[in-house]
Structure 1
Amino acid sequence: MPSFTAALLGLAATATVVLGHGHVREVIVNGRSYHGFERWASNQDLSQVVTWQFTTEDEGPVPIGSLENPDIICHQGAQNALASVPVNAGDEITLKWFNSIGGFEHPGPIMHYLASCGDAGCGSVDKNSLRFFKFYESGLIQGGMADSPVWNSQKWATTEVHKGVQTVSDGLIDTFTVRVPRNIPSGNYVLRHEMLGLHRAHLGDAEFYPQCINLQVTGSGSGPLPEGVPATQLYKGTDPGVDLDIWVNLQSYQIPGPAVVTSVLKRDEGMSRSRDFAPRH
């Protein structure tokens, strides 16, 4: 039976339902800034926007009931971004996640995927045709008892990032960074940046926060890309990393989705073979 403290923390989780809502406002590569989609900006020039549009009014999560629905691909009602971020293989990408209330305070993993847009280009590719492979993941950083809102005992990838949250004039910014795989061929790709909020997972209500960004990659890789899978096949509601109670003394966590593919990572680290890419269900 959960302790009284754990029960209180679980109740606290249900009260912080909007602290993860938000979007990628800005993408920075090599010191240059690129615009993210702003749902409430009536005069935004969409031809210059590099993140995919979405329709959810409160900028909240994709619900767990939509894991096999196209909304999970790049968020609810997602439409292609028209512009792309030029980036070299191996470059670091900085993502500025904006939230008007508290920033991304939800505990959970961070995952990054890539999918080739093929000849269609990312501005017009059918999102249902995208096949994603995971190249980065980070989950439970330190096991322990859940200690919201400080998260100094039980530490997560998202809560560690949130400790550096910055205040801006109209809200808060959490900054996420990821490095483009070094051994990836040149081409047009969709970067799928995703966080998973586990504060309500004990209620069967884990929250998925995907955002998609168009990239135009220049790289020296020549090998074939991993086959990848549709985003609608990445997760199941019964996955151990989705269906769990974090409001306990948690010591281990299995990040959901497929394994990280190593064939597109650093060649100088000996990562020349990709792992089995079947989803870990």
Structure 2
Amino acid sequence: MFLSALAVVSTFLFSQVAAHGGVTSYVIDGVTYAGWQPYNSVDGQTSIERPFSIILSATASTMSCNDNGQAGALQLSATVAAGSQITAKWNQWTHQEGPVTVYLASCGGSCTSANSNSLKWFKIAETGLKSGTVGAGQWGNGDIVSTLSYTATIPAALAAGEYLIRHELLALHQANTPQFYPECAQLIVTGGQGKVPGSEYLVSFPGAYDASDPSININIYLDPAASQTTYKVPGPAVWNGQ
């Protein structure tokens, strides 16, 4: 009885951690798409989002989409016009400190048959330190705490095709122990102007981040970080379609 009860509690705590930083739905052109539910059985789940959990290493093999790189068994994709907005929503988030980033990756065909670890990613949005100091400032993560949502725009010039979109929350509240919460969803982008980002904007996951990166391996409570008023968001520059 005790072991059974302990197993139930452990499962509950893991599910709470897994769901804690996970996107729970997406809104595209007024249509809401359900996200992945890590605390529910995988059997029968259909979503445009891929399965996810929590990552504690900048070089984890699951860094691309927080899974083994593959689509879910009943994977869906959402159609979105280039130039449209997509809003990711969370049901809970408590960490104020850290940046929010949004990436896209062309699947070069069907995303459902693509392994996310082999794709090249480019950043389309980021919100890092907005004001104040690294140790006591206003961050992109603080916006998520307040609104439980983040809206990004698919570049209007982007070439049509199938893409993965990757939302990442990087929590910096624990000294030198970053927590990564990336989730991916599958999109079919229509319209656009046939443009793609240059190689200087493209990165791989894992590979884009390094554990020694001072923006990742950081103690925000000690000088010099605590008194800094600037912060470089990890990863490449944002590509806006130019």
Residue of structure 1 equivalent to 2:166? 192
- 1:216-240 Cα shifts (integer Å, max 9, x gaps): 1112212344342211111011112
How far, CA to CA, are the matches of 1:20 and 1:104 in structure 2?
Answer: 12
Say yes or no: does 1:259 pair with 2:241.
no
Are residues 1:80 and 2:71 paired?
yes
Q: Tell me, yes or no, if structure 1 residue 179 matches structure 2 residue 156.
A: no
Residue of structure 1 in register with 2:83 after alignment: 90
| Distance in 2, Cα, partners of 1:210 & 1:74 | 6
Alignment of 1:1-281 (within 5 A): 21-42=20-41, 45-46=44-45, 48-54=46-52, 56=53, 61-64=54-57, 67-77=58-68, 79-81=70-72, 82-99=75-92, 103-119=93-109, 121-144=110-133, 146-147=135-136, 154-164=137-147, 174-200=148-174, 202=175, 204-227=176-199, 228-247=202-221, 248-262=226-240, 264=241, 272=242
Counting aligned pairs with the same residue, the percent is: 31
Determine the C-alpha separation between the residues in 2 that align with 1:146 and 1:205.
15
Structure 1 residue runs without a partner (length 5+) = 1-16, 148-153, 165-173, 265-271, 273-281
Q: For the residues of structure 1 that align with 2:31 and 2:103, how far apart are their CA atoms?
A: 22
The residue number in structure 2 matching 1:169 is none
Cα distance in 1 for partners of 2:40, 2:60 equals 27
Asked whether the 8 Å contact 2:70–2:115 carries over to 1, the reply is no
Determine if contact 1:113/1:135 at 8 Å carries over to the other structure. yes
* RMSD between superposed Cα atoms in Å: 2.3
Length, aligned pairs only: 219
CA distance in 2, matches of 1:178, 1:97: 15
TM-score calculated relative to the size of structure 1: 0.71
Residue type of the alignment partner of 1:83:
L
The equivalent residue for 1:167 is none
Q: Report if the CA contact (8 A) 2:96-2:139 is conserved.
A: no
**1:37–1:78 distance in 2 versus 1, CA, 3 Å:** farther
| In structure 1, distance between residues paired with 2:91 and 2:43 | 16
TM-score normalized with structure 2 length: 0.82
Q: Distance between the aligned counterparts of 1:215 and 1:84, measured in 2?
A: 5
Secondary structure at the aligned position of 1:216 is classed as: strand
Q: Report what 2:9 is aligned to.
A: none
Conserved in 1, the CA contact under 8 Å of 2:23 and 2:89? yes
Structure 1 residues 199, 124: CA separation in 2 closer, same or farther (over 3 Å shift)?
same
Residues 110, 157 of structure 1: 8 Å contact kept: yes
